[in-house]
Amino acid sequence: MVGMTAVNQRQGLRLMAIHAHPDDESSKGAATMARYANEGVDVLVVTCTGGEEGSILNPAMDTPGVAARIAEVRREEMDNARRILGVRQEWLGFVDSGLPEGDPPPPVPPGRFATTPLAEAARPLVRLIRQFRPQVITTYDESGGYPHPDHIMTHQISVEAFEAAGDAARYLEVGVDEGLEPWQPLKLYYHLTFHKERILALHEAMLAHGLESPYAERLAEWVDRAEDAGRLTTRVPCGDWFETRDRALIAHATQVDPTGWWFRVPLEVQREAWPTEDYQLARSLLEVGMLPENDLFNGV
Question: What is the rounded CA–CA span in Å between residue 110 and residue 122?
Answer: 17
Q: Report yes or no: 273 and 213 within 8 Å, Cβ to Cβ.
A: no
For residue 21, say whether it is annotated as part of any ligand binding site.
yes
Q: Which of 193, 197, 202, 185 is nearest to 283 (CA)?
A: 185
For residue 151, say whether it is annotated as part of any ligand binding site.
yes
Q: For the whole prediction, is pTM greater than 0.85?
A: yes
> Which domains, from first to last, does the chain contain?
4-194+230-265+275-284 (3.40.50.10320)
In the predicted structure, residue 8 carries a pLDDT above the cut 80: no
Q: Which of 50, 141, 39 is nearest to 91 (CA)?
A: 50
The per-residue pLDDT for 7 is 57
CA-based radius of gyration for the chain = 19
The per-residue pLDDT for 4 is 44
Which of 5-14, 36-45, 123-132, 166-175 has the weakest average pLDDT? 5-14
For residue 203, say whether it is annotated as part of any ligand binding site.
no
